[in-house]
Structure 1
Amino acid sequence: MTTPDPLPGLVAALGMPGRPTSDYDLNPGTVLPEGRLLKPAAVLVPFQAGPSGPEIILTKRASHLKHHAGQIAFPGGKVDATDAGPVDAALREAQEEIGLARGNVAVLGTTEAHETVTGFTVTPVLGRILAPFDPRPEAGEVEEVFAVPLAHLADRANYRIEGRRWRGQWRRYYAVPYGPYYIWGATARILRALADRLDT
């Protein structure tokens, strides 16, 4: 008996045309400096089969961190000199942050890079988790690992545009709350871009 694909349409969606995203998408008046140098980074967007359909795994960063404390994020980080590239970096970070072995991930592809206000160009790496795993949050950096149904994140009606003051200026951003989790900023923008692909 053939097991149905838990991620219908996702691989096809990756083949659809996309465009780079950024934290500035909802702030068209922002003037970015010419010749700015962005640091390469990568995140893993991990999909797994859940009880009610596909899910995406996310993390809640530890509340004591200097940067992005308590925020919801994908496993990921900067591309180190020892990494073979963004895919290698995303898989390494996922293993370090949540205990997801790279051999338990089938890479489906990447989407266009996302530029952050903190000076990174982040490559989202989409990957299917092949077998159930028991998350092991990295002590000191990850407070919690949790899953959100893809159906919730793929529904563009669940996204809203909000704003706050940042470095003396008003900045608008996407948010896609789920239960007690407030998913916003770069994570929500990357997810919104994925929802746009799945809806075409």
Structure 2
Amino acid sequence: MSLIWSEDALRQALSRPAGPSSDFDLNADVIPPTGTLRPAGVLAAFHEDDGRLVLTKRASGLRHHPGQIALPGGKVDPGDADETAAALREAWEEVGLAASQVDMLGAMPPHRTVTGFSVAPLVGIIRGPFTPVAEPGEVEEVFTLPFAHVCNPANYRIEKRRWRDGWRNYHVAPYGPYYLWGATARILLGLALRMQA
């Protein structure tokens, strides 16, 4: 498997079949709650120059997932046509990435979170120069990770921590000071596995 940035390889990976993922994948003893999942969209945006992936560190004052590493995105609002529209709107609001700069390649299977969302991970290419601008109320930092790190399954491992009344297993792929974990790591691991297929 080549870990050199290739837009064609990314397109081929997205064309390969894959099933949905979930925060419950590694926790067979935890029964997902019943009820309707709220739709959301996140954007995995790779820069055309070298494949670096844009990620955010969420603000520490947020109610949901404070301080966590995340792909730009969020829940589908009433004004959004669908999950793609939500992901593009949130990318503009959170990091200043205009929809006109994003060449959408496709979607990965939905990911179910423990917080009751069905997240549609969208994949796109950033065209042209891009200087991120963090939205201070939501985003503490905007940074990038190399394509070779994100798309190498060997960089992912399983860790666990106390959660509610037991232990929760989850995927991680740390890089320097950035602790990539949970739903974001699981979504990106799914892409990495399709890259090597």
TM-score, normalization by structure 1: 0.93
Question: Offset of 1:8 from its aligned partner?
Answer: 3.1
| Alignment correspondent of 1:28 | 28
- Does the 8 Å CA contact 2:39/2:118 hold for their aligned counterparts? yes
Does residue 18 (structure 1) correspond to residue 18 (structure 2)? The answer is: yes
| Alignment correspondent of 2:141 | 144
For 1:28 and 1:41, the matched residues in 2 are separated by 24
Deviations 1:113-139 (A, max 9, x none): 000000000000101001111101002
Aligned partner (choices 138, 150, 154) of residue 157 of structure 1: 154
Q: 1:1-200 residue pairs with structure 2 within 5 A? A: 6-34=6-34, 36-50=35-49, 53-200=50-197
For 2:16 and 2:6, the matched residues in 1 are separated by 19
Question: Offset of 1:33 from its aligned partner?
Answer: 4.1
Deviations 1:64-118 (A, max 9, x none): 2222111000000001111110111110000000000010101000010000000
Structure 1, unpaired ranges of 5+: none
For 1:183 and 1:57, the matched residues in 2 are separated by 12
Deviations 1:157-193 (A, max 9, x none): 1111000111122100000001100000000000000
The one-letter code matched in structure 1 to 2:23 is: D
For 2:163 and 2:64, the matched residues in 1 are separated by 14
TM-score, normalization by structure 2: 0.94
For 2:62 and 2:33, the matched residues in 1 are separated by 29
For 2:6 and 2:159, the matched residues in 1 are separated by 32
For 1:28 and 1:110, the matched residues in 2 are separated by 26
The one-letter code matched in structure 2 to 1:16 is: R
- Does the 8 Å CA contact 2:32/2:114 hold for their aligned counterparts? no
The one-letter code matched in structure 1 to 2:27 is: N
**Pairwise CA RMSD:** 1.2
Question: Offset of 1:6 from its aligned partner?
Answer: 4.3
Question: Offset of 1:154 from its aligned partner?
Answer: 1.1
For 2:99 and 2:33, the matched residues in 1 are separated by 37
